[in-house]
A = this chain, B = another copy of it.
Amino acid sequence: MDVSLLVCTTCRAGQPVLDGQPVAGARLHAALDGVAPPPGVRIIPVECLSACNSGSAIALSGPGRWSYVYGRMEIADVPEILQGAAAYAASTDGIVPWRDRVAIFRKRSIARIPPIG
């Protein structure tokens, strides 16, 4: 079953909100939505991941898997985000071996939650 790459579209990432301008999270979502996702990954916009002090925030989740939340993501990180999401989708339980984890996920983890149930 597919995993979800959740992208907070309301993250301001500490920047002022300008009239008519999308916030940082919306811009990150647009950038991610503009490329083909890795196999087995769905990109889903979410209004607020409650990680406002660490925006822009994203999360990875999937049935039977650990969920992970990452912060301080930027548009320049899109290729690495997709690479990290692909490794997550390829895992059985959401836990990607440390050596295979992309650097931005190693360094900007906010939290993880065990499989639900």
Contacts and interface: CB of A to CB of B under 8 A. Distances in A.
Contact of A113 (B49, B63, B109): B49
9 contacts: A49-B113, A50-B109, A50-B110, A59-B111, A67-B113, A69-B69, A69-B111, A69-B113, A110-B110
Contacts of A69: 69, 110-111, 113
Contacts of A44: 114
Interface residues of A, number: 24
Copies of this chain, tallied across the complex: 2
A9 interface: no
B62 A116 contact: yes
10 shortest A-B CB distances, which residue pairs?
A50-B112, A69-B111, A51-B111, A50-B109, A61-B116, A111-B111, A67-B113, A59-B113, A110-B111, A50-B111
